A and B are shown apart, each in its own frame.
Chain A
Amino acid sequence: NAGVMQNPRHLVRRRGQEARLRCSPMKGHSHVYWYRQLPEEGLKFMVYLQKENIIDESGMPKERFSAEFPKEGPSILRIQQVVRGDSAAYFCASSPPGLAGNRVPYFGPGTRLTVL
């Protein structure tokens, strides 16, 4: 059973460009979470999605950031008009449906975004 997959693993963008980060959850998992790891700030929750629904986006910056998890295909974290402060590691996690106690998040390898 393949784990959570993220691509690309490394992404370089110039200021003002768009960044698209993809996440394929583990087989059978219908819940996806995105976290950001900034130097000196640790891991912070960004957004929680189920298929075609955003459940909790309380950690998403108000502008330039969006996320989706379509019925078919991977979850996408999109950052428009990137700035240097967006440089970070972005991690996706997934968990299965069912009882809350069973929803253990498993993490992908991350995408390291560098903004020049």
Chain B
Amino acid sequence: AQSVTQPDIHITVSEGASLELRCNYSYGATPYLFWYVQSPGQGLQLLLKYFSGDTLVQGIKGFEAEFKRSQSSFNLRKPSVHWSDAAEYFCAVGAGGQGAQKLVFGQGTRLTINP
């Protein structure tokens, strides 16, 4: 069965510092991978996605993620965080045998920004 692990439940970084959020997946075929962000009381906003091709993908708000098949990882990075990046981040893999329809989510990583 497909699964996603986000090892860090909570991360705190200082404003302006670099950020890396970890994501490991388990999936038998070529995965469809996503990162979403959720602010308190809000829905999920798509940050970026990987389907195929270049393993380094660029997203919105200055985020990027790198797909590493050998490590089954899809880590999210940002060179310099802003206070507005404080939120919960979810990694997801598209499952169901037909690509992106059914998402399996990780438990999420809550990001706190120190001023």
Contact = CB atoms under 8 A, between A and B. Distances in A.
Interface of A: 4, 31, 33, 35, 42-45, 48, 55-56, 91, 93, 95, 99-110, 112
A107 B43 contact: yes
Nearest to B32: A101
9 contacts: A43-B90, A43-B103, A56-B96, A95-B100, A100-B32, A100-B98, A101-B51, A105-B101, A109-B43
Q: Which size class do B's interface residues fall under?
A: 20 to 34
Interface string B92-108: 10001011111111111
Contacts of B98: 100
B42 interface: yes
Contacts of B46: 104, 106-107
Given A42-B107, A101-B51, A103-B100, 5 more contacts: A45-B104, A100-B98, A105-B101, A107-B36, A110-B42
Tell me what chain A mostly uses at the interface: helix, strand, loop, or mixed: strand
Interface of B: 32, 34, 36, 41-46, 49, 51-52, 90, 92, 96, 98-108
Contact of A33 (B34, B36, B45, B102): B102
A101 B31 CA distance: 10
Given A42-B107, A42-B108, A31 B42 contact: no
A104 B49 contact: yes
A100 B101 contact: yes
